Amino acid sequence: MDKIHINQMMFYGYHGLFPEERKLGQRFSVDLTMELDLTKAGKTDQMEYSIDYGAVYTVVKEVVEGEAVNLMETLAEKIAKQLFMNFPLLQACVVKAYKPDPPIPGYYQSVAIEIYREREQ
């Protein structure tokens, strides 16, 4: 299956279990891999056979900057669900959501959740 990747989309949201996260908010980053057949897009040079990257960014932004959730797992699921609802050519996706600054002690680059979902038939 062909793939479109959009990496390191950056947002600011209010997700988390702790009151400070819900009040102050924090940065979130999302990597996305979308699987679909790009044969017609490549042969015809027509956008109708692909997925508009800008529209994808807008969908992800609306989810991440929208209603707060407790878990990154829930955030990733919501992103995948909205992608399938908005892009009928999408067959499968990998959503990797990063929380660079979660309120846990220690030294690390980030915490991330990665899910793979296929379109339900």
| Ranges of each domain in the chain | 2-118
pLDDT 10s digits, 16-33? 999 999 999 999 999 999
Neighbouring residues of 65: CB distance < 8 A, sequence distance ≥ 6: 11, 12, 13
The third-level CATH classification (topology) of the domain covering 2-118 is GTP Cyclohydrolase I, domain 2 (3.30.1130)
Catalytic residue, candidates 40, 78, 96, 99: 99
* Contact indicator for 83, 120 with CB cutoff of 8 Å: no
pLDDT 10s digits, 29-68? 999 999 999 999 999 999 999 999 999 999 999 999 999 9
User: What are the two backbone dihedrals, phi and then psi, of residue 28, each rounded to the nearest 5 degrees?
Assistant: -135, 145
Is 99 marked active-site?
A: yes
Nearest-angstrom CA–CA distance, 21 and 36: 36
Give me the amino acid identity at 64: V
Question: What is this structure's pTM?
Answer: 0.95
